[in-house]
Structure 1
Amino acid sequence: MEDAHFYKEMEKGTLTGVFDGHGGSKVSAYASAEFQKRFPKALKEANGNVHQAFGKVIDQIHQNVANYSAWNHEGSTAVVCYIDKETHQIYTATLGDSEANIYRKSGQDGITSIPLSCVRDWLSPKDLNRLISIYGKKTVMSFVKKVGSQAKHIRSQLAYGVNVARAIGDVENTGEPGQPRVIHKPKITVNQLRQGDVLILACDGLKDFVPEQEIAKIVANRPSQSLNFFQKFFYGQQEPKFLARQLVDAALKEMDRRLNDNVTVVAIEVA
């Protein structure tokens, strides 16, 4: 299992994150543990500026990973959310293809999916340009034409086996200062939470196997205060935890028919 996750209550907010490792599990486990330790101090030093705190903590963790040569072949995606308890604003920092979404009631029975993550892969313009600066436009674009619209296929030759353009670690694939390849600059978004919203953070093990429409359907049909005896016994009357399990099971079911991957899901319902 190369994934790691955490949930941390703070004095003025809630912090949660999912980290999907590649090349091993050490970087994702380290990043998860360090983020929840470092963020409160970084937020205080930044006078409450969440953007600055996110960037500082991610850079600190990346530099520590880079200084430990035994981890040079490993890396990790990240999606981290900070919820301000006073304003109900949610800040989301994303590296790679782990994602966060708000699922909000729409109409009588509908659910609207609101993406919080800006996923950046090798087909994103700025990230693709980094490959072009190294290999040249003709080589890169001919290869993109060959593999089609699936950005993850680019890793086979042009991206040194790494299928995300932004991650913590991946020191062997970061390139030179003048020609960076994998970078650790997060994309940060801000949104507003409402009562009844369901927040879901997940690695690509969910998103690659379960269509967004199906995820929304599972959220819409989730049990609400109606778990049976056995469900309450196993999940401690925690409906969001049971919802997360349902989503994981849906992904695993599809994996049995196709490929395999790790699946991590964090679900939070806004009271």
Structure 2
Amino acid sequence: MTTSEDTLESHEVGLAAPPGEPLQTLTAAEADGLELVHQWFPAPLTVRDGSFALPPEPAWRAVVHAARRHLEAMVGAVGRLECPELGPLTQCGSAWLIRPDVAVTNRHTILSLLDDVQRGARTLRVNLSAEADGSAVLHCPVTRVLYIDPIHDLAFLRVKQRGAPQVGLVVVDSIVTANPVAVIGFPSHAEGGYAEPEYQQIFGDGWFDREGRGFKRISLGRLVSTSDTLLEHDCTTLGGSSGGVIVDLVRGSVIGLNFGESRDRRVNLGVPGWVVQQRLAQLEGSI
């Protein structure tokens, strides 16, 4: 199980990255090692009641144990992006709070709905409570689409929290490439899209709802390369993970926004945290 299926939309809307530093390339030895990582990759951790079980792999168990406090403080700010009017297709992707009243997601998760949302024919919400076995309902209505980036697969949404508000996640503008990372998001059911043994090994716990919508999960991995405009990582995701948050497990901070995969390179992709920070700073005076 190597990559997600949630990215073709970003290419269909003509997303193009600006010139930046060239991507780092892998040597043959590194590529072989990457395949081994993918072949034996840990299954994403299913979030229940704001927490999760440790992975069985000893090395990852130690990493996640050390990061548990940070992760448990962060998962409550990550939600499933939904359009209720779509019925069984309610799930649009993932989103997370960068401020108590602002959520971050991908451009491609909302672009096809934008006209309907702006004229009131459809609505969006961020479901912070979509956890396995969960009975709580914590829907945050999207009151306004604040910004859609013309270059990066990035968008900001104004949200209205109900009850005790979640704080926004801390985004850092530096990356330690050696640190293990995770994507927190909502991979949705995709049986038949991948080799059955791999799919069952990774997602065989069956934690999807009856419509195939994903519950909150933490997918573990490592950075493959970075540039001014792009992160590459090997966290295992599926459709629905678009808009998930990329977390440095050592520092407990956000380093990027997941948006999809590169099928040629068999890696997943993210918008770097410093791009997210810069765009939000440009908006601060108008929101």
TM class by shorter-chain length? under 0.3
The TM-score with structure 1 as length reference comes to 0.22
More helix by share: 1
Larger Rg computed on CA atoms: 1
The TM-score with structure 2 as length reference comes to 0.22
Ranked by relative contact order (alpha carbons within 8 Å, sequence separation 6 or more), the top structure is 2
